[in-house]
Amino acid sequence: MSLATATRSEATKLLTTAGWWILALVLVVYVGTTAAGMGFLFAASASGNLGGGATAPEVPSDGLAPLLYSLGGSVGYVFPLLIGTLMVTSEFRHQTLTPTFLGTPRRGTALWAKVVVGALIGGLFGLLAVIAAVGPAAALLAGFGLDTELGAGDAWALMGRTLIAMALWALVGVGVGALVRNQVVAIVVVLAFTQFIEPLLRLAGSFVDGLDEATRFLPGAASDALIGASIFNVMGGQGSAPLEWWGGGLVLLVYAFVLLLVGHIASWTRDVT
């Protein structure tokens, strides 16, 4: 079976199940509500309309729009990561990998097909995340009389890089799924690392001398660097200057490549039971 045929087969398997659109819906709701809440807090604070003596982390008004628009990637990246992981581990869990390999005897081709579909679905998730973040954020900025920066090329470049980052996260997920065959274990590993381990390491990097140089190369930090802005930096999670956007993209690509390579060698070529 050719790569094109295998890719169509993988796309059909993914799109005929409910998992992808449920995750997409949760992504839109999660990113949209986060952008609305953060947008109101920061826009009201920057415009001097945050009453009751409340305060928000200080953000220059001219850098507020990119910060809010980046929320789709900085808080929503776990969703393409999960869908990429589920694309592979679901095959092991539901024992559909045997007919997959019977239809595509070359296992490398089967994995490449998942990579292609993963990148496409990751890009779609990225588009949904950008819309969910930019929509309420731009509306709130305009409502408080602040510049939405939608006429600036830098804002659109940030949105484009968000799509790239989300596609790369889906590839990382495919690599994780190929390496960790058990679906429950893979999901626990993904959530534990993205929601607890890395945020704690990045927070520690802002206080421990020298550690911040290493935490810049963590996958979440690399993704934020690729996008070009992150709420995490404002909240005190970045001690040193982030990588250049292209450096962040390269680091995230390396993570995906290494996980896919190790997963293929250590797990993908093993016997299927």
Q: The tokens of 211 are what?
A: 């550690």
Does residue 132 sit within a domain? yes
pLDDT of residue 168: 98
How many other β-carbons are positioned within 10 Å of the β-carbon of residue 108?
12
Does residue 272 sit within a domain? no
Determine contact, residues 236/203, Cβ cutoff 8 Å. Answer: yes
Does residue 45 sit within a domain? yes
Give dist(CA 146, CA 138) in Å, integer.
Answer: 9
Does residue 199 sit within a domain? yes
Q: The tokens of 39 are what?
A: 């947008």
Determine contact, residues 230/198, Cβ cutoff 8 Å. Answer: no
Residues sharing a CB contact under 8 Å with residue 130, sequence separation 6 or more, in sequence order: 69, 72, 159, 162, 163
Per-residue pLDDT tens over the stretch 77-101: 999 999 999 999 998 887 887 787 7
The yes-or-no verdict on residue 140 having pLDDT over 90 is yes
Does residue 100 sit within a domain? yes
Q: The tokens of 87 are what?
A: 């694309």
pLDDT of residue 174: 97
Give dist(CA 43, CA 168) in Å, integer.
Answer: 31
Domain extent, residue 171, equals: 3-266
Does residue 271 sit within a domain? no
Does residue 273 sit within a domain? no
| Domain total in the chain | 1
